[in-house]
Amino acid sequence: MTAATMTSKGQITVPRDVREDLGLVPGSKVMFVKLGPRDYRIVARTGRIEDLFGILHRPGQPPLTIEEMNEAIAEAAAESGMRGVRDEP
């Protein structure tokens, strides 16, 4: 386990092995995500928007049109809005 010490100004130097594992370089951004009381996760924001290209691709499934996507979203929204609603006579 790697540890670091906070300075009186609230600064911490990220240890080299952690920087390398997270792909951090000078100017990199990190997020502190709260998981619970006294429990956080450090997440590197090193990616580029271009890195997301193709992540939703499903081989063999034809692409949807914008109209088909909007219809699917509307149907799901309508279904979720009906959860807990009973038909009464």
CA–CA distance, 85 with 69 (Å, rounded to integer): 26
**pLDDT digits over 26-51, tens only?**
989 898 999 889 999 988 887 777 76
Q: What is the mean pLDDT of residues 71-84?
A: 80
Contact 10, 4 (CB under 8 A): no
pLDDT at 81: 74
Q: What is the mean pLDDT of residues 16-21?
A: 93
CA–CA distance, 21 with 2 (Å, rounded to integer): 12
Q: What is the mean pLDDT of residues 47-71?
A: 81
pLDDT at 14: 94
